[in-house]
Chain A
Amino acid sequence: MKIARNIAITVVCIILGVMVAWQYKSINYNQNAMSYQNKRAEGLMEEVIRLQKNNADLRTQLQKLQNDVRLYESAKAGSDEASKTLLEQLKTARIFAGFYDVKGKGIIITVESNIYTVLEDDILALVNELRAAGAQAISVNDERITAMTEIRDAPPYTMINKVPVTAPFTIKAIGDPEQLENSLKMISGVVENLQEFLKITIKKSDDISIPKVREDGSVIKIDLLNPVSQ
């Protein structure tokens, strides 16, 4: 009788132990699953907001075009309108390609060698960070950064647009000064990482001038580009 009771208690205790362990795991699992779902929802929310902003931009772009189309359809558009439209498009395209000297608000970064020398990858990283922060025009030592501008280590020089330049590097960018500075100074951002090895200073300015790119066919080449008929 005594033995039977002891066995019974032992069995119950074992069951109890297994249940406690199982419950612990189960609750943990449930909590993990929930936080995963929440994270996923957060990411999706951001995606929706980004797409909505994008679509709003597209709508204004479309509206502008539709107005132009209406103007042409009504046949009221004469030589003046046509040349106005063409001139506007021409100016936009040429500013966009980097064929004008431009000025505006922005920031000036200077980069000097410290423990290490400045390499092409360092300049690339800084330029890319400026682009991501909305910079509209960028130059390095007064060489305009265009779509096809290369940055090449060629010690003791760095070649930019096939022109040799040397440290200290002065990177100028036109854009929202606050946004540019915040993005660069972000904790564990590009500048903080590079500052371990290089000397970097950042200065905001309301009057930054950035020179145009040479237009002699040496930087922006188009001889291999065949327009696809639209």
Chain B
Amino acid sequence: MKKGSWFVLFLIYSILGFIISLQFRSNMSTKKEKSASVLNTERLLAQVEQEKKTQTELKAEIEQNRKKIEEYLKSYIELNDDRKLKDLWTALYDAKLKAGFTDVEGPGLVIKLDDAPSKKSDDPLLSIIHDADIQIILNELKKAGAQAISINGERIVATSEQLCAGPTIRINKEVYSVPYRINVIGPPDDLYYSLMMSERVILMRKQGIRITVGRSNKVLVEQYKKDPTKLISRLEVIGL
């Protein structure tokens, strides 16, 4: 009996020792690896911030240069009183307005969309906004006679995609997260009723997705800001 219990105690203490050393090692290794991956994440975060800053700077500089050229052309045309150039200028003004290359203002709606507050809906998939929701809302606005639309400042042009990527949505190859702000110019009453009577919008509101709509006579829709030549590079014009 005495011998047996000695053996049991020996066994228990060796297991205890083994476990303590295992735990110690596990903690040590995760601490080391964790700190390495945290460091990595921090470095990447800094890099993202840096690239974003560069992007803002580049955009500002592009805008500045674009304005400069516009000024030169304008003053040149005024100085020289060239009929042909003046006609060209007018045609360009009209084409830019139709293509979405001009900041425009007009009557319309400002629509804000946000995911449902957490725990309001049973199914988390139903409580967030999907690309199809945005597509359907845009289509409703177009049916009602929308003339210009932007989402979070991205002008909607013929090739603008709305693509879900996790909790974010990609528009004109830029990624945005909630809340989404849709600015639309068009007949405000028609836009409002087309939006509110849409089955999809009614369903979205039932799921708890927050939709607020404001009317205004001066809704601003920003111009398409990227290089348009990249988006027509594969198109060969017939008969020109």
Contacts and interface: CB of A to CB of B under 8 A. Distances in A.
Interface of A: 5, 9, 12-13, 15-16, 19-20, 23, 26-27, 30-31, 33-34, 37-38, 40-41, 44-45, 47-48, 50-52, 54-55, 57-62, 65-66, 68-69, 72-73, 77, 79, 82-83, 85-87, 89-106, 120-121, 124-125, 128, 131-132, 135-138, 145-152, 174-176, 209, 220-228, 230
Contact of A33 (B30, B55, B99): B30
Given A48-B44, A48-B51, A174-B234, A227 B97 contact: yes
A131 B173 CA distance: 10
B3 interface: no
A137 B238 contact: no
B189 interface: no
Interface residues of B, number: 108
A27 B25 CA distance: 10
A41 B232 contact: no
Contact of B96 (A16, A93, A95, A209): A93
B67 A150 contact: no
A181 to B, nearest CB: 15
Interface of B: 5, 8-9, 12, 15-16, 19-20, 22-23, 26-27, 30, 33-34, 37-38, 40-41, 44-45, 47-48, 51-52, 54-55, 58-59, 61-62, 65-70, 72-73, 76-77, 80, 82, 84-85, 88-89, 91-93, 95-108, 131-132, 135-136, 139, 142-143, 145-149, 156-163, 170, 173-175, 185-187, 220-221, 226-240
B237 A100 contact: yes
A128 B163 contact: yes
Contact of B23 (A26, A79, A131): A26
A15 to B, nearest CB: 8
